[in-house]
């Protein structure tokens, strides 16, 4: 299997923010040595002629086999990054999603395969454990700050009182 590298062109992607007990569902991002260097919410590339909503719903269906509900309006981010020496560039639609009742309840992790056959592990992470010390980074870079700095009218799950659940 070849190591993943960013595409050599600008990609437009849609990613979904799913929260469980104030924790964000994100897939592990590994370096070439297999070490976890960060995590990223689930989603993927928008295909030509496809809207971001349809793309996000398709990605969750392909990856997890579920139909998600989009529960808000997107945050837009531009993500220019370097992974293992290669530069990537993405324009991102980032939005909260809800899972069907009972989907993955009782599971601490979700294992799935990408289209290229790569095994992916996703888990729920507390934002406080990301982008600190030896902990994994939250990708795209800057997403944690965006989530923490939303206005009170648009705040999302991790800023609500403990015990709220947007599953």
Coil, strand or helix: which one is 154? Answer: helix
Coil, strand or helix: which one is 71? Answer: coil
* Residue 159: predicted pLDDT: 40
The first and second tokens of residue 132, run together, are 């600190």
Question: Is-contact 125 109, C-beta < 8 A?
Answer: no
What string of pLDDT tens digits covers the 167 residues of the chain? Answer: 457 677 778 999 999 999 999 999 999 998 888 889 899 999 999 999 999 999 999 999 999 999 999 999 999 999 898 877 888 899 999 999 999 999 999 999 999 998 778 899 999 999 999 999 888 999 999 999 999 987 555 545 444 333 334 33
In angstroms, the Cα distances linking 105 to 29, 74, 93, 99, 138 are: 23, 26, 26, 10, 23
- Please tell me the distance from the alpha carbon of residue 57 to that of residue 98, in angstroms, as a whole number: 11
* Residue 116: predicted pLDDT: 77
Give the global pTM: 0.85
Q: Which CATH architecture has domain 10-129?
A: Alpha-Beta Complex (3.90)
Burial of 1-26, coded b for 16+ CB within 10 Å and e otherwise, reads eeeeebeeeeeebbbbbbbbebbbbb
């Amino acid at each position: 299997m070849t190591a993943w590298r960013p595409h050599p062109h600008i990609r437009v992607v849609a990613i979904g923010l799913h929260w469980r007990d104030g924790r964000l569902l994100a897939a592990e991002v590994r370096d070439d040595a297999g070490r976890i260097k960060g995590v990223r919410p689930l989603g993927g590339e928008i295909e030509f002629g496809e809207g971001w909503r349809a793309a996000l719903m398709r990605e969750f269906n392909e990856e997890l086999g579920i139909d998600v509900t989009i529960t808000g309006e997107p945050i837009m981010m531009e993500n220019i990054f370097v992974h293992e020496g290669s530069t990537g560039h993405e324009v991102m639609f980032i939005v909260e999603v809800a899972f069907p009742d009972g989907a993955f309840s009782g599971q601490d992790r979700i294992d799935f395969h990408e289209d290229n056959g790569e095994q992916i592990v996703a888990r729920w992470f507390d934002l406080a454990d990301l982008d600190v010390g030896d902990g994994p980074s939250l990708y795209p870079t800057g997403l944690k700050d965006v989530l923490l700095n939303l206005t009170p009218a648009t705040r999302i799950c991790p800023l609500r009182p403990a015990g709220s659940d947007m599953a």
